[in-house]
Chain A
């Protein structure tokens, strides 16, 4: 069974600082990995999707890397802003025919103005 772990569970940084969020998974036989943002009491917004054959994906200030062999992914958020405050979840997709996702518990980020 795939186990997804996110460290740290919570993070507080001053505005402008770069954020580094870590995700690890136990089974390296993945199809893809996604990073989501969740605001309090809300659903999920997809941020980045990395296919298993890719090493990284970038969107604006966000960059996600994937090292499938070591079972790790890292989400970098450059020049953090108070609006980046949210919980960030990583989720691992098992196969192209199975769209179930295994989620980590998330990292709750607070960016202080």
Chain B
């Protein structure tokens, strides 16, 4: 299967700071990247969808100015949580879609964010 990495795997930060999460597809090109968020004992909730080289599309209720997504290349997408607050503490998971492989859904290992 495809290899997807996320960095960092976990991060603790103070309230008000910004945190950048990287998602890399190591052995394939991802034309589309999905970013999900998962609160404890809850479903994964889609936050946004980004296509390489274009602006991300955000789901209802997700602040685009707070969660900045960059998908500048086919192998790297970043999610920046700006001015993080304790309620942003969650598990963030990226999911790249492989170009030309419609059915395949791969997921990164996730990044756990704790905002104090």
Residues of A within 8 A of B (CB): 4, 9, 32, 34, 36, 41-46, 49, 89, 91, 96, 99-101, 103-106
Contacts and interface: CB of A to CB of B under 8 A. Distances in A.
Contacts of A46: 1, 105-106
Interface string B14-48: 00000000000000000010101000011111100
B32 A44 contact: no
A43 B110 contact: yes
Interface of B: 1, 4, 6, 32, 34, 36, 41-46, 49, 91, 93, 95, 97, 102-103, 105-110, 112
B110 A41 contact: yes
Contacts of A49: 103
The DSSP consensus for interface residues of chain A is: strand
A96 B102 contact: yes
A103 B43 contact: yes
A83 B104 CA distance: 25
B105 A106 contact: no
Nearest to A4: B43
A45 B44 CA distance: 14
Given A89-B44, A99-B32, A43 B112 contact: no
